[in-house]
Chains A and B, each alone.
Chain A
Amino acid sequence: QQPVQSPQAVILREGEDAVINCSSSKALYSVHWYRQKHGEAPVFLMILLKGGEQKGHDKISASFNEKKQQSSLYLTASQLSYSGTYFCGTEMGNQFYFGTGTSLTVIP
């Protein structure tokens, strides 16, 4: 039931772009994205509710392919503050599960 994320880890230089993918084996009602910094609780980034929906704020955006049960998170022109572990979260029926996580490190 746990969604699978790829890659597991990525290291970027400031200004570079990254894509994080999230795949589920079951039909999804929605996809959430969260970022967790070390020693802190996960913080909500965005929700996608409809297949084909795309959202974004600042330089972080996401898409949701309902048919493929996949979502992707796009980080452009990365900043040092983007470092952390990114989790997708998926609603299947009434249940909510976090993905396997992607560790992202941005270096100067």
Chain B
Amino acid sequence: EAGVAQSPRYKIIEKRQSVAFWCNPISGHATLYWYQQILGQGPKLLIQFQNNGVVDDSQLPKDRFSAERLKGVDSTLKIQPAKLEDSAVYLCASSLDRGTPLHFGNGTRLTVT
């Protein structure tokens, strides 16, 4: 089966600019996750979707971050405006159901200068 697809792989922007990341989960996977991983730290959950509904977005900085999952399939994560502390790897993952493994994409490495 095809894995989780993410794009772009790398992005460099200046602070106060905006950026968007795209994720295509494994076909049939109902749950989609966006994680932020800062160098040397564990993945931090930003938002979790179940189909196209939000399960948890308690750690999403909603003043600058937004995410949507179109028709319960693809998802986009946007940052506007970006800050220096947003520099991190953004990981998308999907899972079939509760109690099943998370499959990760290769991530997007964001550098904010």
Q: Hey, which bits of chain A sit against chain B, CB under 8 A?
A: 2, 29-30, 32, 34, 40-44, 47, 49, 85, 87, 89, 91, 94-101
Contacts and interface: CB of A to CB of B under 8 A. Distances in A.
A41 B41 contact: no
A95 B45 CA distance: 9
A47 B99 contact: yes
B111 to A, nearest CB: 14
**Chain A interface secondary structure, helix, strand, loop or mixed?**
strand
B55 interface: yes
A101 B106 contact: no
A42 B56 contact: no
A96 B42 contact: no
A47 B100 contact: yes
B107 interface: yes
A21 B103 CA distance: 23
Interface of B: 33, 35, 41-45, 48, 50, 55-56, 91, 95, 98-107
8 contacts: A30-B99, A49-B99, A94-B50, A94-B55, A94-B98, A98-B43, A98-B45, A99-B42
Given A41-B107, A87-B43, A101-B42, A96 B102 contact: yes
B99 A91 contact: yes
Nearest to A44: B101
A101 B98 contact: no
